[in-house]
Amino acid sequence: MNIDTTIVTAGRDPESNHGVVNPPVYHVSTVLAPTLAARAANYAARQHRGRGPLYGRRGNPTAVAFERAVAAVEGGYDALSFPSGLAAVASTLMSYLSAGDHLLINDAVYGPTRNLCQGILKRHGIETTFYPPLIGAGIAELVRPETRVVYVESPGSLSFEVQDMPAIAEAAHARGAVVIMDNTWASPLYFRPFDHGVDVSIQAATKYIVGHSDAMLGAVTTTEAAWPTLYDGAHELGQCAGPDDLYLGQRGLRTLAVRLRRHHETGLALADWLRGQAGIARVLHPGLPGDPGHSLWKRDYLGASGLFGVVLEPCSGTALAALVDGLELFGIGASWGGYESLVLPCDIAALRSATTWDAPGPVLRLHAGLEDADDLKADLAAGLARLARAD
């Protein structure tokens, strides 16, 4: 079945819900069992990592419907949901790592993931080494006997370096490490994690899966071999997402394929156009020929999302504000993956420890939303004109 079909059908079962198309929202804490024997049977199924409803935190049907849908779309064995993308990242790392273990993580990782490694993971005796995002097969030299996890976020957060996933996975697996990937940028549609050696794939579903900038949600999908560790860890940590947010997640998922195609086209069109504009030093988008990550992106990815970066020529804070503050269609805000366009200045240098970030001027992260591409271009053109005048 083509993935565009899977995305529409997975995790839905209208027949068991009065014919209603979408899985219903179950608000659950207590789940009643008709007899002691039935309760004991349900509990026993849990010992074998069953998914039936036992309590609000365990087996809410709204959660299971979302999780089954995400697992099918990611192409993995099974999935669990979390109340945010960062909760998914944290629970995953805490599930696979123990005191004394070593973690290898990409230096261009999402900032809050870096904070987690330097904060609670460090305090719990887990040592992190940040590796250069373009290390590729060279990562083998950094893998130690106690390295339990190699964590990849590709492309790099804010800077968009594409990583050689198959080469990294091969080096990690040769030493018995688990390969975890934050696959939020491409979504399961444009990067197939389990075809490239990933064992555990994380989605900040807040972004493209929810897709409408109104709910926080995370999802983690694993291979069959990696599943028990995630299942046990997430349950020990008490992770569960709210049913209304899970509902929005499964609803957003149904239209992901058409939305993402548009984000891809508009993002690439804007990136290509920006590359030739005065005031722009560099465009960070792996879908552009000539980008350092372009050949790996072409080899491994099926498309690009709408998120990319631009490096400006050196300019004053006043000039930067003139550009950004006057934009009418690009909102100044964090997150991305919704229908609207966004812009955010980012300080990449402050988030590096294994590599240095050397760009001539400030970096803007742009999210190309679903607006008309020419309208977005005109908004940016007016912004660049304000920048030129202010300098």
The residue ranges that bind ligand PLP (CB under 6 A) are: 84-86, 89, 110, 153, 157, 182, 184, 204, 206-207, 216, 218
Sign of CA dihedral 73, 53, 211, 12: positive
Nearer to ligand PLP, 42 or 221 (CB): 221
Distances (CA, A) of 325 to 83, 169, 316, 373, 391: 32, 43, 14, 20, 15
Shortest distance (Å) from residue 106 CB to ligand PLP: 11
- Confirm whether 182 is a catalytic residue: yes
Shortest distance (Å) from residue 203 CB to ligand PLP: 8
- Confirm whether 57 is a catalytic residue: yes
Shortest distance (Å) from residue 200 CB to ligand PLP: 14
Backbone angles phi, psi at 257, to 5 degrees: -65, -45
Shortest distance (Å) from residue 306 CB to ligand PLP: 13
Q: Which residue in the list 57, 122, 298, 299 is annotated as catalytic?
A: 57
Tell me the C-alpha distance between 300 and 368, whole Å.
Answer: 22
Tell me the C-alpha distance between 63 and 50, whole Å.
Answer: 13
Query: Which tokens is 190 given?
Result: 């444009």
Shortest distance (Å) from residue 262 CB to ligand PLP: 19
Nearer to ligand PLP, 143 or 241 (CB): 241
In this structure, the number of other CB atoms found within 10 A of the CB of residue 68 comes to 19
Nearer to ligand PLP, 206 or 355 (CB): 206
Count of CA atoms in the C-beta half-sphere (13 A) of 388: 10
Backbone angles phi, psi at 140, to 5 degrees: -50, -35
Nearer to ligand PLP, 143 or 248 (CB): 248
Letter for the amino acid at 305? S
Shortest distance (Å) from residue 91 CB to ligand PLP: 12
Nearest residue to ligand PLP by CB is 85
Q: Which residue in the list 12, 58, 114, 207 is annotated as catalytic?
A: 207
Nearer to ligand PLP, 42 or 201 (CB): 201
- Confirm whether 352 is a catalytic residue: no
Nearer to ligand PLP, 216 or 322 (CB): 216
Contact 342, 336 (CB under 8 A): yes
Which of 279, 346, 357, 280 lies closest to 307 in space, CA to CA? 346
**∠ Cα 383 384 390 (to 5°):** 90
Q: Which residue in the list 12, 51, 58, 110 is annotated as catalytic?
A: 110
User: Can you list the positions of beta strands (E) in 162-306?
Assistant: 178-182, 200-203, 218-222, 280-284
280-284 vs 178-182, strand pairing mode:
unpaired
Q: Which residue in the list 182, 245, 291, 300 is annotated as catalytic?
A: 182
Residue whose entry in the numeric block shows the structure tokens 């992901």: 256
Catalytic residues: 57, 110, 182, 207
